[in-house]
């Protein structure tokens, strides 16, 4: 029997042309039926996107993951080998120590599988930074990870956990057979450690994104449904539910093209453009660090190899070892047609809906 969550194969393993970020960019930017994002901002009387500070340092520890999800924008999986080097991880900690960035957001892949995940968490907490772990839940059940839940709780790490739906069918359709059951078991372990329970001070937030080529339903209504259904069906409690729009990149772009839904999905994103969501997009307050130390405006730009651009003084430092917080905090943001995914409907970010 296959390991839960590994029913699908990465684009890299399939040797798909879309495994190369430049091929994805070429397809998106060659899509003349979809307007340029920057032009849309201008036509709506909105200024070009620019950073408004750095509130979150989001660090991607690599593409190694115990799951291979159908929608994954990272194209992560057990076959990927990309992993952050020690010196790069140390440069991330140096950037935190030399700045007042309040939050470290750790992602992957499954970041917990990085051999220095625990050192990064512990060091950031010593710096009195809030730490978030973007967790796929099933990693908590792997052999050798028995101490992971107590470790996270002991360091008061906020868990941001992926769960496509509160029913098995939809979840396993997106993440692989057996993922839902193991995710529920992991959530029970987190609840037993105090996560999601009132007064415990241990934050457990869930993240859902649509299984198909449509926009998420309103976040507040979904959150009410999820609280009710997870409690009723499984006795699970959590703090908040975040909705995230599927970005038309990587495996989801591959799915859209293979299913003939690409043009319709892009049209749906453009028609749902919400000017009120623009000020809150995550690229304005987040700096994204790739597994190799390169700097990006957001996690999505990272996956498309669109490095940070410039500010009034010219080309910006492009690697975390050359971190210049003052300049990076006022940088111009690099945009593309994929950015419509963050501004459609209620808006979308790593912290959920924006309006």
- pLDDT (tens digit, 9 = 90+) per residue, 90-140? 999 999 999 999 999 999 999 999 999 999 999 999 999 999 999 999 999
Q: What is the pLDDT of residue 6?
A: 61
| CA distance from start to end of the chain | 43
Tokens 């057990």 sit on residue: 78
- What is the separation of C-alpha 274 from the centre of its chain, rounded to a whole number of angstroms? 21
Q: What is the pLDDT of residue 2?
A: 47
Strands of the sheet with 204-208, listed across from one edge = 240-243, 204-208, 158-162, 130-135, 103-107, 56-60, 286-289, 295-296
- pLDDT (tens digit, 9 = 90+) per residue, 239-286? 999 999 999 999 999 999 999 999 999 999 999 999 999 999 999 999
- What's phi and psi for 146, nearest 5 deg? -60, -25
CATH 3.40.640.10, domain 11-20+49-246+281-334, yes or no = no
- pLDDT (tens digit, 9 = 90+) per residue, 11-57? 999 999 999 999 999 999 999 999 999 999 999 999 999 999 999 99
Q: What is the pLDDT of residue 7?
A: 59
Query: Do 28 and 335 form a contact (C-beta atoms < 8 A)?
Result: no
Q: What is the average per-residue pLDDT within 213-238? A: 96
Q: Residue 1: is its pLDDT beyond 50? A: no
In 200-327, the DSSP E strands lie at 204-208, 240-243, 286-289, 295-296, 310-311, 314-315
Q: Residue 8: is its pLDDT beyond 80? A: no
Locate all alpha helices (DSSP H) within the chain, ordered by sequence.
11-14, 21-29, 37-43, 86-97, 117-126, 148-154, 168-175, 179-192, 219-234, 250-259, 262-271, 299-303, 325-328
Residue ranges of domains in the chain? 11-20+49-246+281-334
DSSP 131: E
Compute the distance between CA of residue 255 and CA of residue 133 in angstroms, rounded to an integer: 27
- pLDDT (tens digit, 9 = 90+) per residue, 318-331? 999 999 999 999 99
């Amino acid at each position: 029997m296959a390991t839960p969550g590994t029913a699908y194969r990465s684009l890299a393993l399939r040797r798909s042309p879309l495994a190369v970020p430049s091929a994805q960019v070429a397809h998106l930017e060659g899509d003349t039926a979809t307007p340029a994002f920057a032009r849309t901002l201008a036509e709506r009387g909105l200024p070009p996107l620019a950073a408004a500070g750095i509130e979150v340092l989001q660090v991607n520890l690599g593409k190694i993951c115990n799951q291979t999800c159908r929608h994954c924008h990272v194209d992560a999986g057990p076959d990927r080998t990309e992993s952050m080097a020690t010196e790069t991880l140390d440069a991330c900690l140096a950037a935190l120590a030399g700045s007042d960035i309040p939050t470290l957001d750790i992602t992957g892949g499954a970041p917990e599988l990085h051999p220095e995940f625990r050192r990064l968490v512990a060091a950031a907490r010593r710096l009195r930074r809030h730490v978030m772990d973007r967790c796929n839940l099933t990693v908590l059940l792997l052999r050798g990870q028995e101490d992971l839940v107590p470790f996270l709780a002991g360091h008061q790490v906020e868990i941001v956990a992926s769960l496509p739906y509160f029913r098995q069918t939809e979840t396993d359709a997106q993440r692989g057979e057996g993922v839902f059951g193991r995710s529920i078991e992991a959530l029970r372990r987190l609840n037993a450690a105090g996560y999601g329970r009132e007064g415990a001070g241990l934050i457990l937030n869930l993240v859902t994104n649509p299984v198909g080529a449509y926009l998420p339903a309103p976040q507040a209504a979904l959150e009410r449904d999820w609280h009710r259904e997870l409690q009723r069906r499984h006795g699970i409690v959590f703090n908040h539910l975040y909705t995230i729009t599927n970005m038309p990149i990587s495996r989801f772009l591959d799915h859209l093209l293979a299913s003939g839904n690409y043009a319709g999905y892009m049209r749906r994103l453009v028609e749902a453009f919400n000017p009120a969501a623009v000020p809150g997009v995550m690229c304005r307050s987040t700096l994204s660090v790739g597994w190799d130390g390169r700097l990006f405006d957001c996690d999505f730009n990272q996956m498309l190899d669109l490095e940070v651009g410039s500010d009034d003084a010219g080309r910006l430092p492009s690697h975390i070892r050359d971190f210049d917080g003052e300049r990076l905090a006022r940088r111009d943001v690099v945009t593309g047609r994929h950015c419509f995914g963050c501004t459609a409907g209620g808006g979308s970010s790593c912290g959920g809906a924006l309006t």
